[in-house]
Amino acid sequence: MNSLEAFVDKCLEVFPFNLSGIIYYGSGLRGGNGVFSDKDLVAVFKNYQLDLFIVLRNIVQELEFNVDLPIIFEGEIPVDANDFRVINHGCYFLEVLKRGHVLFGKNVFLLMPKPSDIAIKRSLFEKIIEYAQFFRRVFLESKCDYDPSFNYQLNKRLLKSAYDLLWILENKQCDYGGFLELLRIKIPNLLNAGEWDVIDGLMVNGKISSYSDFSIDFLSARFFIMEKIYLAAKKLVFFS
């Protein structure tokens, strides 16, 4: 299968009564997919079935592209929006899914209230912490011999953290296009001139760059940018 439409059709064929909805979100929806990107989907099912995972795995294995596909059963969705969590995404992710594109069925998340502002900010900060810890490990352990797809993932995590910092600052989701320019206006002293140039260079025509620079200088620059984003987010969440 080489299209999302074919994937949805196959899921409908196999799960005609249990499939509640399939939602497409993320950079692919914005036209920002890079060469190493997955298609970000969430599949919602009405009732839990253990063998569902086996059948769905067979479908995914037939795809000619990569997907990130969390599975959610309606009975797993918490009543309190602040408690919402999918894998390593906190309640902020509920607001992301509400803006997703429905490929089939309904967006059940639209029925849920918005999490509290502080819960959203703290969940965004948790994600930034996760990425900061990831960068720390890479910086300390890497011999800069990782492959281009891993380099791309570093760029993606850094840009996502910068976007989340702006979300914390503005107390709302901003348009992804031009978010770095807005962040620079809002927190001009966040980075020095060279660091702004580095992070600006990670976006090319609205897409995450797959530029493969494996030098220690490039890794170091991104590491220090990530640390500054982390510290700024921490200050905004806990000391502002």
Question: Domain limits of the chain?
Answer: 4-111, 117-238
Determine the pLDDT at residue 145. 67
Under 8 Å between Cβ of 166 and 184: no
Angle of helix 148-170 relative to helix 193-200, nearest 10 degrees? 110
What is the rounded CA–CA span in Å between residue 164 and residue 187?
13
Q: Above 80 in pLDDT, residue 160?
A: yes
Determine the pLDDT at residue 172. 95
Task: Judge: domain 117-238, CATH 1.20.120.
Answer: yes
Write the pLDDT tens digit of every residue in 207-219: 787 766 778 899 9
Write the pLDDT tens digit of every residue in 86-114: 989 999 999 999 999 999 999 999 999 99
Determine the pLDDT at residue 32. 54
Q: What is the dihedral of CA 98, 99, 102, 106, to 10 degrees?
A: 20
pTM of the shown model: 0.92
Write the pLDDT tens digit of every residue in 16-30: 999 999 999 987 666
Mind giving me the DSSP string for 36-75? TPPEEEEEEESS--THHHHHHHHHHHT-SS-EE--EEEGG
Please state which CATH class domain 4-111 belongs to.
alpha beta
Under 8 Å between Cβ of 71 and 53: yes
